Amino acid sequence: MFYNLLTKKTLILTLMIMMLVPLAQVQAESKEIIELKKIFKGLVGRAPETIKASQLPGIYEVVMGSQVMYVSKDGRYLLQGDLFDIKTNINLTENTRSEKRIGLLNSIKESDMIVFKPRKANHRVTVFTDIDCGYCRKLHREMDSYLKEGIEVRYLAFPRSGPNSKSYYKAVTVWCSDDRQKAMTEAKSGKEQARKDCVNPVKDQFELGQAFGVTGTPSIVLDNGELVPGYVPAERLKKILEERSLSL
């Protein structure tokens, strides 16, 4: 009896899923979206990561890399800029960017970062950093202040001059050192280090920063996906994190 009931419930659930899947596929692959993908592929050589109906009637939201755009159903009109809901005072475009950053952030293993942990971490930030960047060095000189405020700092490499540059190889050398924290501190203090090489994530992290929309360093990413550009003093950063209620 119990087996029969279980079988019937399983059958009903399976039928419900089968009914929902085709509907989702139709919505995801509507004629308009297929045509818009073709248009973008013709323009830039690849289809967007996502195309979906926006909050504006007749307008689709398009996400390509770090860019969020809006396009008319027929693909004729394209708009770049932030879309706000005036009634709620919410930046809808930034919400989309933040959602994407959260997904990217969650894809990174902490073992691929250089992490400075306080005795008791109350907050956490991920920082795209450049060894030679002046404000990156200032932030690092004040690391004790961030740790004192209970802020864990996780570094990702973003040599602004790009791969195969002097700053790039400095980041590689830091990563390939036996004590990465010490090597980071020495490099940011201007100490010359003998070049080292090994399997490293520096290039991948640089490309990841571009996907995040990083254009300068330091760039601080909060756990809610918000990107805070530039140097922020420890006390101010703690206040921002508390205002966003981002506690571990």
Domains by residue range for the chain, with CATH:
22-105 (3.10.450.70), 108-243 (3.40.30.10)
Residue 29's pLDDT is what? 64
Strand, helix or coil at 39?
helix
Whole-model pTM? 0.79
Instruction: Write out pLDDT tens, residues 21-39.
Output: 444 444 446 888 888 888 8
Q: What percent of the chain has pLDDT over 90?
A: 64
The mean pLDDT value for 60-73 works out to 88
Residue 248's pLDDT band (boundaries 50, 70, 90)?
Answer: low
Residue 147's pLDDT is what? 97
Residue 88's pLDDT is what? 92
How many of the other CB atoms lie within 10 Å of CB of 189?
Answer: 10
Q: Please check the confidence at residue 141 and state whether its pLDDT lies above 90.
A: yes
The mean pLDDT value for 183-189 works out to 97
Residue 167's pLDDT is what? 95
Residue 15's pLDDT is what? 40
* 13 φ, ψ (degrees, to nearest 5): -60, -40
Instruction: Find out whether 135 and 230 touch, Cβ atoms under 8 Å.
Output: yes
Instruction: Write out pLDDT tens, residues 209-235.
Output: 998 889 999 999 999 999 999 999 999
Distance from C-alpha of 185 to C-alpha of 176, rounded to nearest angstrom = 14
Residue 188's pLDDT is what? 96
Q: Which of 97, 124, 137, 160 is catalytic?
A: 160
* 136 labelled catalytic: yes
Q: Which of 136, 137, 154, 223 is catalytic?
A: 136
Q: Which of 130, 132, 137, 154 is catalytic?
A: 130
Considering only CA atoms, which of 194, 154, 150 is closest in space to residue 172?
A: 194
* 198 labelled catalytic: no
Residue 222's pLDDT is what? 95
* 176 labelled catalytic: no
Residue 41's pLDDT is what? 85
Residue 189 amino acid letter: S
Residue 200 half-sphere exposure toward CB, CA atoms < 13 A: 21
Q: Please check the confidence at residue 140 and state whether its pLDDT lies above 60.
A: yes
| Mean pLDDT (the chain, rounded) | 87
Distance from C-alpha of 7 to C-alpha of 205, rounded to nearest angstrom = 49
Q: Which of 97, 132, 133, 223 is catalytic?
A: 133
Q: Please check the confidence at residue 20 and state whether its pLDDT lies above 50.
A: no
* 130 labelled catalytic: yes
Q: Please check the confidence at residue 13 and state whether its pLDDT lies above 60.
A: no
